[in-house]
Amino acid sequence: MTKTGKHPNGKKESGRNMKPSSQRRRSDDYDTLHAGMHQFDDWSTSEAAEFSDNMAQAAHIWHKIVQETAQGFLDNPSLGLGHTDPFKISESFTQLASKAMANPNQIMDSQIALWQDHLNLWQSTTQRLLGHAPATAEPEARDRRFKDEAWNNSTYFDFLKRSYLINSRWIQESVASVEGLDRHTADKVNFFTRQFLDAMSPSNYFFTNPEVIRETLVSKGENMVKGMKNMLEDVMRGQGKLRISMTDENAFTLGENIAATPGKVIYENDLMQLIQYTPSTKQVYEVPLLIMPAWINKYYVLDMREENSFIRWAIGQGYTVFVMSWVNPNAELGRKSFDDYLSEGPLSALDVIEEITGSDTTNVVGYCLGGTLLSITLAYLRTHGQSARINSATYLTTMIDFSQAGDLSVFIDDEQLESLEDRMSETGYLEAQDMATTFNMLRANDLIWSFVVNNYLMGKDPFPFDLLYWNSDSTRMPATMHSFYLRNMYQKNLLIVPGGLELLDTPINITKIQTPSYILSTIDDHISPWKSTYAATQIYDGDITFTLAQSGHIAGVISPPGKKKYGFWTNKKLPARPQQWLEDATFKQDSWWLHWHQWQAQKSGDKVKARKLGSARYKPIEKAPGSYAKVRV
C-alpha cells in the first residue's frame, strides 16, 4: 500500500477493508485533498525538478498559444472586436433584466429560496465534517462531469459540486420564471444561460477538478505539457481560433477503414457525385434505392466502419444502392440556390438511376436536411405529374414543420441572420467551423467541455471514434442557398404552407404528397426534436409508418442489428399528439433497420439479376467515396 491508501496500481481498496464512516470520511478527504502535498514530501530532488521543468514548459507553450491567437486576430479581422457578439445576445439579456426588475417580489422570493438551499448545504456539510454521512446531491444520470469518485467521497469536492448544482438550478429557474418576454427571446436567454452554466462547471478547471489534480501530481505535470501542446496544435489548425480535436484524425482514412464500401462514382455535377455501390448478392430488388444525405457534413455517416455501415448492410439485403455525395462548396459555388440543389441533386440523380437500372421508379431515403429536400422533390414531381418516379420515401430525423425546431431556433432571428449574411457575403459561403460550432453548442458538455478536460487538462489524446471523426468533417454552406433555407423554413416556416415556397417555378405543396412514407425519429434528438418530426404524420396525405428509435440524431440512426444497444417504438395509429403516440406504442429491443427492411422490401418489386456499375452513357469516374467527400476544410 502507498501512503495515499491506494494499491500501487492505482486501484482502491475493496469494500471489506473500509473503515467506520467518520474515519472513512477523513481518510477519503485526506486522500483526495492532501495526498498531493505528501507526494511533494516524498519526491526526490530530481522528481521535484521534473515537476518544475514541466510547469515551465507548459507556461512557455501557453505563451505560444497566446501569440498564435493574437496573430489569428490580426490575419483575420472577422475574429476580432467586430464579432464579439455574433449571436446577438446582449439585447436579449437586457430585456431579461428589465422584465425581472419589474417584479421585485419575485426576485426576493427567489433569493430566499437560494439562501435556504445554501443553508441546507452548509448544514449537511457540517454534519459530514462531524462524522455523519448525509446523502450527496446527484447530477442527472447522463451528466458525466462528476463521475470521478472524489466528487462524492471528498467533503470539499462534494461541496463544490452541490454548490454548483444549486446555483445552476437557481439561475435557470430564475431566468425561466421571468414574465413578459416573447417566446424567441425567452428561448434565447434560456439557451445561452445554459451555455454559461456549462462553462462554469468546476469540472472544467484545474484547481476544482480532482481528477486533473490527481493526474498532475502522478505525472509530475506531464499532463499540463501535453495538454498545452494539444491546445497549441488545435489553435494552429484553426488559424488562430481554437478548433477542438474530438478524435484521432489520423486513425481513419476514407476508402480504407471508413467509407470503404466498394462502389464507383458514376455521375457528377457542380453540387454532387452520384455513387453506385457494388452488389454483394447475386440477385437484387427490382426497384433501386437512392440515399439522399444532408449537405451539412458528409454522406458517409451512413457508411462508417464495416460493422456499422447502413449502406453496406442495405446492399447485403439485396438493394441496388445509390448515394448522393454533396460537394464541399467554395466561393465559386456561393451563388448556388435551393433551386440548384433540387435540380442538380435528386432530379439529376433520378434521371441517371432510371437510365442505368431501367427502372422507372426509385425508393428514396432522405437523412435530416436530405429528407426535407426529399419532401420538396415529391411535391415538385406531383405538380408535374411525375409522382410515380419515387415509389416510397424514407425520412430519417427530418423536420418539415419548423415551428418547434428546438434549440436551433435560438439562432434564427433577423439580427442574427443579417449578421450571418454579412459574414457569408465576404466569402460566398458559411465557414464549416461556424456550422460545427453551432451544432456542438447544442450539447456543449459532451461535444465541447468534455474534450477541453480530456485534451487540455488531462493531457490525453482524443479516442479514435468514427462518428466523431465524421462529426469533425464539416462542410461549408453556399451563401444563397443557406440564407434561403434559414429564412424560409426555420424563420418563416413556409414549407408547410401550401404554395408558400416556389422552386424551379413550381409552387411546393407537401400536404398533397401521397407517396408511402416511413418516418424514423430519435427520442433524444437535439437537432430534429422527435415531436417536431412527428408533425409530418399529420401533414402528408399518403400511407405513413412512424418509428421512434432510442438515442440521438446520429447514434439512434446508426444502430446495426445484432448489438441491441438501442431499441425502437412502433405504433400503427397516428394520433395528433406525439406524446399520445408514444404512450400507446410498443417497444422492441432491436435495430429499427430490420423493421424498415420489412417495410421497404414490400415496395421494392421482384428480384432481378444483380446490376453492373454504370452504363454506356454513365461510365464509372472514380472509386467510392469519390473526390467530393475527401475535401476537408
Comparing CA positions, the residue from 473, 471, 476 lying closest to residue 423 is 476
Q: What is the residue type of 12?
A: K
Q: State the Cα–Cα distance between residues 107 and 174, nearest whole angstrom.
A: 8
Placement of cell 488559424 in the chain: 239
What angle, rounded to 10 degrees, do the helices at 155-176 and 104-129 form?
A: 170
Q: State the Cα–Cα distance between residues 196 and 308, nearest whole angstrom.
A: 36
φ, ψ of residue 129 in degrees (nearest 5)? -65, -25
Q: Are strands 362-367 and 390-396 parallel, antiparallel or unpaired?
A: parallel
- CB contact at 8 A, 95 and 185: yes
- CB contact at 8 A, 599 and 545: yes
Q: State the Cα–Cα distance between residues 266 and 621, nearest whole angstrom.
A: 6
Q: State the Cα–Cα distance between residues 550 and 523, nearest whole angstrom.
A: 5
Residues in contact with 77: Cβ distance below 8 Å, sequence separation at least 6, in sequence order? none
Mapping DSSP to helix (H, G, I), strand (E, B) and coil, where does residue 619 land?
Answer: coil
Q: State the Cα–Cα distance between residues 537 and 375, nearest whole angstrom.
A: 13
User: Which listed residue (349, 350, 368, 405) is catalytic?
Assistant: 368
Neighbours of 396 (CB within 10 A): 30
> Is 128 annotated as catalytic?
no
Q: State the Cα–Cα distance between residues 476 and 434, nearest whole angstrom.
A: 9
How many helices (H) and strands (E) the chain has is answered by 24, 17
Q: State the Cα–Cα distance between residues 542 and 390, nearest whole angstrom.
A: 13
Mapping DSSP to helix (H, G, I), strand (E, B) and coil, where does residue 569 land?
Answer: strand
State the number of CA atoms in the 13 A half-sphere of 199 facing the CB. 7
Report the catalytic residues.
368
